[in-house]
Amino acid sequence: MNRKEFGKLLAALRKSRHDEHYRQLTQRRLAEQSGLSENVLGKLERGEKISLEPDLLLALASSLGLSTRERREFFLAAIGLNEREMPARQPSPEAIFGELFDSLTQISLPAFIVDSYDDIIAANYIILNLFEFSEELRKIAPTIVGGYNVLRFVFSERSKFHSLLDQEHEKYLMQSIRFFRAISLPCRANPYYEHLLSAFKKDRDMARFNRYYHRDMDAYNQDDYYFESERFTFCHPVLGELVFYSPSIFPVSTGHGSLYLVTYIPASIVSVQACASLASQFGPGAMRLAPWPEKPISPDC
């Protein structure tokens, strides 16, 4: 990400924040909160300031209310290389995805691949059948914005996923939003990001998501909780109580944003047996879902 791209990102992050009167945060107000001059902030957003001092970035991250993981993405975006400076022999995005997809097909556990917008690019047959991603949902998904997005799967009224969560469902729903906000941070100035959130906001089917997403960000960021390295429980109507552990998730850089391979590791005998049964029944393999790297924007939404 070059300086102009970072400037657009900073402006997008500022405009997504609101003051105590729920007015969009102005350059002047952000400058005051971060201890910068309005002139310096203007140069930053226009991409005219070359040096980005650590103290300056830390002050901005704090004033923007970024969580720990969002800060990491923010700092990486600030120091990121221009794509023209990337190694000439770097594998193509298609080749990188191909290797990741091959790995997905060989995992005998629930697993899927998401991009920086949390769109599910591919999922193996185990997780598709474990969470009952029905034929009906597969038909609907290509016809709506973000139809394969994790947030739709978690929050949509059409999905059965939220009904499978145990008593800690509140924590899981909030962390789903945290993860989305963190991995999508470098894309906040991209048209598809605004297109995606706009579609969610207009869709009555996503009312639950909108309630959670527009909660006080500062309040829930104090928790800074992520589901990684913790156990979580699903109450499956057929397979019983299933307990999974999610290891840390690391980005795979492609030149078209990052990809993430998410795997759920069974953490109980019943869960191990359920995964083995699904693997035996549906076999290895995976399915392509959301489009990538192109992200089409429908003029109707």
pTM above 0.75, yes or no: yes
What band does 299 get if pLDDT is binned at 50, 70 and 90?
A: low
Inter-helix orientation angle 68-79/3-15, to 10°: 150
Section 261-280 average pLDDT: 95
Phi, psi of 258 (to 5 degrees): -95, 155
Is the confidence at residue 13, as pLDDT, over 70? yes
The predicted-structure confidence for 92-101, as pLDDT tens digits, reads as follows 999 999 999 9
The predicted-structure confidence for 34-71, as pLDDT tens digits, reads as follows 999 999 999 999 999 989 999 999 999 999 999 888 99
Give me the pLDDT at residue 85, please.
46
Structure tokens at 264: 């759920």
d(CA 148, CA 153): 7
DSSP string, 239-292: TEEEEEE-----EEE-SSSEEEEEEPEE-SHHHHHHHHHHHHHH-S-EEE-S--
Q: What value does the mean pLDDT of the chain take?
A: 87
Our CA dihedral for 237, 238, 239, 244, rounded to 10 degrees, sits at -30
Sequence-distant (6+) residues with CB within 8 A of 294 are: none
d(CA 287, CA 267): 25
Rg (CA), the chain: 20
Residue 251: cis peptide before it, omega within 30 degrees of 0: no
Section 258-278 average pLDDT: 95
What band does 301 get if pLDDT is binned at 50, 70 and 90?
A: very low
Give me the pLDDT at residue 140, please.
87
The predicted-structure confidence for 124-171, as pLDDT tens digits, reads as follows 999 999 987 767 777 889 999 999 999 998 998 888 787 787 666 777
The predicted-structure confidence for 225-234, as pLDDT tens digits, reads as follows 555 667 888 8
What band does 87 get if pLDDT is binned at 50, 70 and 90?
A: low
Task: Tell me the domains of the chain and their CATH numbers.
Answer: 3-85 (1.10.260.40), 93-288 (3.30.450.180)
